[in-house]
Homo-oligomer: A and B are copies of this chain.
Amino acid sequence: MASKKVAPDLDINTEEKIKNAARAVFHKKGFAATRTRDIAEEAGINLALLNYYFRSKEKLFNLIMMETFSGFIKSIVVIFNDETTSLENKVESIASAYIDLLIMEPQIPLFIMSEIRSHPDQLLKTINAKNIITNSAFARQYQQGVKEGKIAPVNILHFIMNLLGLTIFPFIASPMIQVIGDLKEGQFNKLMTERKKMIPKWAKEILKTK
């Protein structure tokens, strides 16, 4: 039995090689700026093979987009719907999970936000809208906190925007941040790691602010 390979796709099948290459290139350049030839080259295969396996650039893109987007959303949904954790716990988990993910794959948020601009439907299919939020344990705990006077009576959407903004925005703006802060290799990720501990503290104060 072959050993699990973490590193490059040496002995995995061609279909997987193409998908991995497509993911990398699409994430980096977006749909419109990506040429199928780029993907083929990245995968170390011939252009014709790409169409043999996936029929078209668009079909391949849709596949990658769906996988990336649902993976990105799933993290939130799972954490938000955990009945066994406190609101504070959920905030910590979100910050921690996303920062870990985004240190590994920093292009994901910009990729998703950019492509949604041109394929807005993709989004609506994958998410089943308000239910995710309206019916989550997270929302119930938030409203409960408001009722008990522990949380300021502010629209929960503000808090969600705040939490995601604090967590995700730095990765979207990283080229600007790195220039503004004159950061060297690795310093950016060090800052992001610091934020895993800071964001829950900031969020806690935000929750109390009227």
Contacts and interface: CB of A to CB of B under 8 A. Distances in A.
Interface of A: 28-33, 107, 110, 113-114, 116-118, 120, 123-124, 127, 129-130, 132-134, 154-155, 157-158, 160-162, 164-166, 168-170, 172-173, 175-177, 179-182, 191, 194-195, 198, 201-202, 205-206, 208-210
A189 B116 CA distance: 19
Contacts of A118: 29, 33
A164 B160 contact: no
A202 B154 CA distance: 12
A117 B28 CA distance: 8
List the number of copies, as a whole number: 2
Contact of A129 (B124, B133, B182): B182
Most buried by B among A130, A157, A182, A209: A157
A118 B33 CA distance: 9
24 contacts: A28-B117, A33-B118, A110-B114, A110-B117, A113-B176, A116-B176, A127-B176, A132-B180, A133-B181, A155-B194, A157-B180, A157-B181, A157-B191, A158-B194, A158-B198, A160-B177, A161-B166, A161-B169, A161-B173, A161-B177, A165-B165, A165-B170, A166-B166, A202-B209
Contacts of A123: 175-176, 179
